[in-house]
Chains A and B, each alone.
Chain A
Amino acid sequence: SAVISQKPSRDICQRGTSLTIQCQVDSQVTMMFWYRQQPGQSLTLIATANQGSEATYESGFVIDKFPISRPNLTFSTLTVSNMSPEDSSIYLCSVEEGSGRTYNEQFFGPGTRLTVL
């Protein structure tokens, strides 16, 4: 399976600022996904990022608040803009692989733990 890394692993930020989270994959993948996991909650999909096209956002998430870049097949960034304490969450990058038995399986990065003061 793909090896996924995220930077930073955690951060503490002041309200009103922005943070860009990086996701790096060790192989080329078509589909990448960004999730948010608020404290004590399950994962919620933010958006789907396909290389070469604009990200597709889920209901309740907008590009101005969570701009996403996908410059190539191994990298993506998620920016959390104009942060408030409600944005304190774990942000997870995920990729979809499509080969052999693991076709269409999703694999997840370790997450970025964000605290907004």
Chain B
Amino acid sequence: DAKTTQPTSMDCAEGRAANLPCNHSTISGNEYVYWYRQIHSQGPQYIIHGLKNNETNEMASLIITEDRKSSTLILPHATLRDTAVYYCIVRVRKQAGTALIFGKGTTLSVSS
């Protein structure tokens, strides 16, 4: 699986959009970008995934650049409960039985 690079930490004001970047310059054509988050002391929570088109769900939006070498997770209206560690992971989606490999992630702190 391709390696990802994320900033160690980010701050965001409550109610503002949180934009979390991820670099994955060695991504291959059949690898998807996944985002998970881990709120303190809980199990990681799936947020969203995508291949090359932008994706949106009830939690977030995922913007993937045209060359697919980087992506941005957008939380449109951050709340205090969005304070968590956010993990960007690249993997082959159809590779059933292959566990997610976690990097260090980005610690997002949302403040009022």
**Is A bound to B?**
yes
Chain A positions near chain B (C-beta within 8 angstroms): 1, 4, 30-31, 33, 35, 42-45, 48, 50, 90, 92, 94, 96, 98, 102-111, 113
By the criterion CB–CB under 8 Å, are B102 and A42 in contact? yes
B residues in contact with A108, CB < 8 Å = 43-45
Partner of B46, one of A4, A44, A45, A107: A107
Instruction: Please list the 3 inter-chain residue pairs (A to B) with the smallest Cβ-Cβ separation, ordered nearest first.
Output: A108-B43, A43-B102, A33-B99
Chain B interface residue count, CB cutoff 8 Å, equals 22
CB distance from A113 to the nearest CB of B (A): 7
A residues in contact with B41, CB < 8 Å = 90, 111, 113
CB distance from A115 to the nearest CB of B (A): 13
Distance A43 CA – B97 CA, assembled complex (angstroms) = 17
By the criterion CB–CB under 8 Å, are A110 and B43 in contact? yes
By the criterion CB–CB under 8 Å, are A43 and B44 in contact? yes
Partner of A42, one of B94, B96, B97, B103: B103
A residues in contact with B100, CB < 8 Å = 94, 106
By the criterion CB–CB under 8 Å, are B96 and A45 in contact? no
Q: Is B42 an interface residue (CB 8 A)?
A: yes
Distance A110 CA – B49 CA, assembled complex (angstroms) = 22
By the criterion CB–CB under 8 Å, are A110 and B42 in contact? yes
By the criterion CB–CB under 8 Å, are B46 and A31 in contact? no
By the criterion CB–CB under 8 Å, are A48 and B99 in contact? yes
